[in-house]
Structure 1
Amino acid sequence: MSERNEDAAMAKVLDRIAERFPTVSRGRIEAIVGEERARLSGSRIRDYIAVLVERTTTDRLRNETVVVSAPGDAGVGTLLHRDPDRSDPMERDARSQSGGALRSDLGGPSRVA
Structure 2
Amino acid sequence: MSTPTLDTMASEQLDLHFAQLEDRLDQDYSEVTRARLHDLVGHERARFAGARIHAFVPILVERAVRVALTAPGRHRKD
Higher helix share: 2
Matched length: 68
1:37 aligns with 2:49: no
> Contact 2:33/2:77 (CA < 8 Å) preserved in 1?
no
1:21 aligns with 2:29: yes
The normalised TM-score by structure 2 is 0.80
Q: Which structure is richer in relative contact order (CA contacts within 8 A, separation 6 or more)?
A: 2
Could you say which residue in structure 2 is the equivalent of 1:2?
A: 10
Structure 1 ranges of 4+ moved more than 3 A: none
Question: What is the one-letter code of the residue matched to 1:28?
Answer: R
Instruction: Indicate the structure (1 or 2) with the bigger Cα radius of gyration.
Output: 1
> Contact 2:18/2:58 (CA < 8 Å) preserved in 1?
yes
1:58 aligns with 2:66: yes
What value does the CA root-mean-square deviation take over the aligned residues? Answer: 1.9
Higher strand share: 1
Name structure 2 gaps, 5 residues minimum.
Answer: 1-8
The normalised TM-score by structure 1 is 0.56
**CA-CA distance at 1:26 after TM superposition:** 0.2
Aligned pairs for 1:64-75 (under 5 A) are: 64=74
Name structure 1 gaps, 5 residues minimum.
Answer: 66-80, 84-113
